[in-house]
């Protein structure tokens, strides 16, 4: 069995459709996979490619979500502005046009929040896959697992020291920032939020970018308003982090546990 091509009819990676946007001094992830995999024996060649291809797969999901969320957001903003313009003076009763706009707003809000929450869910998976790829390349360390992005933030400094890895500048800071902005938001504000008082609304900027805003019904002094981030900004930060991941693997090539091609028998 030879190397499995990532450009295939089954679209394991669908190379050429959507790439990571260019990051200064860093190759595109798909190009890195194609060149770096050739350093390894057939088996590890394929396993390395498939490990990192999972990151690329979820990145493509995020690119699609950001585009759809942007479109839904612009429609939501247009609807909100139309509703404000349709408010008649001197009366409290809604017109038929206002009722139509309110119904449309409810539908647009559902679509918008679906995209925002989906982004966080898939972004968390991408970050977990990145942690898995590091452990795949360099091996596991007892009591310092990299089973998730949260594990990476907690364990990576000790993991790197025990493996003798050279860590790119900014890698740990980027990982910690994404834990707060992606993993924690996904965990505490989406997946495991359990208050029956939770209210979800929408905010938008002057240029039409939208966010999800959460408040509480019957608010208590300890309650705080929580907002998502602009998704395109988060995507940029994730791409920078993936670039640092590539740099980490490149810098520590000699420390990989994978079998080099010249050793294969």
Rounded to two decimals, the pTM is 0.88
Q: Is residue 169 part of a domain?
A: yes
Q: Domain containing 141: what range?
A: 29-87+103-180+236-263
Q: Kindly write down the DSSP assignment for every residue of 99-157, as one continuous string.
A: HHHHHHHHHHHHHHHHHHHHHHHHHHHHHHHHHHHHHHHH---TT---SSHHHHHHHHH
In a domain, 196, yes or no: no
Asked whether residue 6 is assigned to any structural domain, the reply reads no
Instruction: For residue 33, tell me if it sits in a domain.
Output: yes
In a domain, 173, yes or no: yes
**What phi and psi, each to the nearest 5 degrees, are found at residue 120?**
-65, -40
Q: Structural domain tally of the chain?
A: 1
Q: Which two tokens stand for residue 238?
A: 């994730």
Q: Residue 187 falls within a domain, yes or no? A: no
Give me 253's structure tokens. 């090539």
Residue 51 belongs to some domain of the structure:
yes
More confident residue, 251 or 4: 251
How do residues 246-257 score in pLDDT, each as one tens digit? 999 999 999 999
pLDDT digits (tens, 9 = 90+) for 137-188: 999 999 999 999 999 999 999 999 999 999 999 999 999 999 999 999 999 9
* Nearby residues of 207 by Cβ (< 8 Å), 6 or more positions away: none
CA atoms of 25 and 217, how far apart (whole Å):
48
pLDDT digits (tens, 9 = 90+) for 10-50: 333 333 334 444 433 334 799 999 999 999 999 999 999 99
């Amino acid at each position: 069995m030879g190397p499995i091509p990532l450009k295939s009819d089954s679209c394991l990676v669908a190379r050429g459709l959507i790439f990571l946007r260019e990051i200064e001094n860093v190759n595109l992830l798909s190009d890195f996979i194609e060149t770096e995999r050739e350093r390894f024996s057939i088996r590890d060649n394929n396993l390395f490619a498939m490990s990192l291809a999972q990151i690329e797969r979820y990145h493509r999901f995020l690119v699609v979500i950001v585009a759809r969320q942007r479109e839904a957001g612009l429609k939501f903003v247009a609807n909100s502005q139309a509703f404000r313009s349709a408010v008649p003076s001197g009366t409290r009763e809604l017109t038929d046009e206002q009722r139509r706009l309110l119904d449309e707003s409810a539908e647009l809000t559902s679509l918008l929040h679906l995209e925002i929450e989906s982004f966080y869910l898939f972004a968390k998976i991408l970050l977990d896959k990145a942690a898995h790829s590091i452990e795949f390349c360099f091996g596991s360390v007892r009591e310092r697992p990299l089973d998730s992005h949260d594990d990476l933030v907690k364990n990576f400094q000790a993991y790197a020291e025990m493996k003798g890895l050279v860590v790119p500048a900014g890698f740990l800071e980027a990982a910690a920032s994404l834990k707060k902005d992606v993993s924690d938001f996904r965990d505490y504000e989406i997946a495991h939020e359990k208050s029956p008082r939770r209210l979800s609304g929408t905010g938008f900027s002057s240029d039409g970018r939208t966010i999800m805003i959460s408040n509480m019904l019957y608010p208590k002094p300890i309650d705080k308003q929580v907002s998502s981030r602009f998704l395109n900004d988060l995507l940029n930060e994730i791409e920078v982090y993936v670039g640092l991941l590539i740099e980490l693997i490149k810098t520590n090539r000699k420390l990989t546990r994978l079998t080099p091609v010249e050793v294969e028998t």
